[in-house]
Structure 1
């Protein structure tokens, strides 16, 4: 896409967790439409932004999150990061085995508490070799690390991920919808753009994702709407950007999908 910038993964090995430093913090400002190329590593990772929304893509899912949310990426999972808007990106690398249990074996969205946010900011964001520490600095860092792990285990998971297909044709269509979710409302228009029949695409949605086009699109719109709401956009603006003729039509979609009006959904999510 024109205007996009692409960067490698910013030398993650320079921030690799060690027995002495099991948690490593990293910070970087990403401009709008900047992509971090797909990569993987042997440790877990928490990705969130202090300001601006980010999108994290894996082979099977995509997660669009505003600043108050984070994406957990388990060890070994290939992932890429996109700045939906200019953002102050924060990354927390978590040593293997520190977060045990089945829940930590898959990607998911987590709520970032104010305490967790400040704790991550308090960790030294420096690559190897780190500066020397005296005994007091080391004790302070170890205390922060323990509190970070406690807050991570307490963090509330949020069902904000959107599944992605393996089929190349459907994958291209889903990625186009991710970039501009409000460009078309119906499957017929998207099918014409993709050069496939609506019937074929409808079948692929069922086979690949276990859902209908309408249900998948609703999940995508909810995730995108949450990032807009986090910026303080009024409901009428969100509805227009997502292709709805009125705020009431958008409200009806949200209520039908999650069983509550947008004002309550955004407050709780």
Structure 2
């Protein structure tokens, strides 16, 4: 499907691999949100409630699998996976051939190769934890929707109907981090989607509300201990 999608929270009895061949998407669960560019995919186990939103116009691809096909415990939680060129082409080819009534033997061969590629796919730590407290969750969702808003803790807390002190405490208790650290993770996740499209550093900085590329670079260095060019290459 190709549009500005907004798939509301739902769950099903099969596992799902979701990624976009163009455009970034955000996949949200009760506990985390994942912001991924086209070269990444989100693995969603069976029974997990999730929603999918296109950050920009995107062409979504989904792969559904029975839970019994991947019995290892590592598949029991959501995770971000690197989409190798072969895995990407296999998913695209399956979609075409299933529409054309693929023969059973060929479907079995393609499926076996997809499963092998999935097991080889590199996991990536790109999830952003979400809180359960309603006030803090409202604040976090607002920051995810508008990462370019360079508001301080006091301004965000006021919008959520809580004091800055309360919000600061909730971040520590529910997410084990500070407001500034969590916000930096959100900014880095959005920056990765822009970098994946070869956007220049100045453009990424402007998109995220920074006055200049130097200020953005300083945030990246402070957060991950390396310059943006190195961070984007490693991520």
TM category (shorter chain) comes to over 0.9
Q: How far did 1:175 drift?
A: 0.5
* C-alpha distance in structure 1 between counterparts of 2:45 and 2:112, whole Å: 19
| Residue 90 (structure 1) aligns with | 61
Aligned residues: 235
- The runs of 5 or more residues in structure 1 that have no matched partner are 1-27
| Residue 146 (structure 1) aligns with | 112
Q: 2:14 aligns with which of 43, 49, 53?
A: 43
Q: Is 1:112 aligned with 2:83?
A: yes
* C-alpha distance in structure 2 between counterparts of 1:46 and 1:72, whole Å: 5
Structure with the larger helix share: 2
Alignment TM-score, normalising by the size of structure 2: 0.95
* C-alpha distance in structure 2 between counterparts of 1:116 and 1:248, whole Å: 37
* C-alpha distance in structure 1 between counterparts of 2:120 and 2:225, whole Å: 26
Q: 1:261 aligns with which of 227, 230, 233?
A: 227
The two structures, once aligned, show a CA RMSD in angstroms of 1.6
* C-alpha distance in structure 1 between counterparts of 2:181 and 2:87, whole Å: 33
Q: 1:199 aligns with which of 165, 180, 186?
A: 165
- Mapped contact 1:184–1:190 kept (Cα < 8 A): no
Q: How far did 1:207 drift?
A: 1.0
Alignment TM-score, normalising by the size of structure 1: 0.83
* C-alpha distance in structure 1 between counterparts of 2:233 and 2:181, whole Å: 22
- The runs of 5 or more residues in structure 2 that have no matched partner are none
| Residue 29 (structure 1) aligns with | 2
- Mapped contact 2:28–2:52 kept (Cα < 8 A): yes
* C-alpha distance in structure 2 between counterparts of 1:70 and 1:241, whole Å: 23
Q: 2:143 aligns with which of 164, 171, 177?
A: 177
Deviations 1:58-101 (A, max 9, x none): 00000011111000001110000001111110000011121222
* C-alpha distance in structure 2 between counterparts of 1:57 and 1:144, whole Å: 29
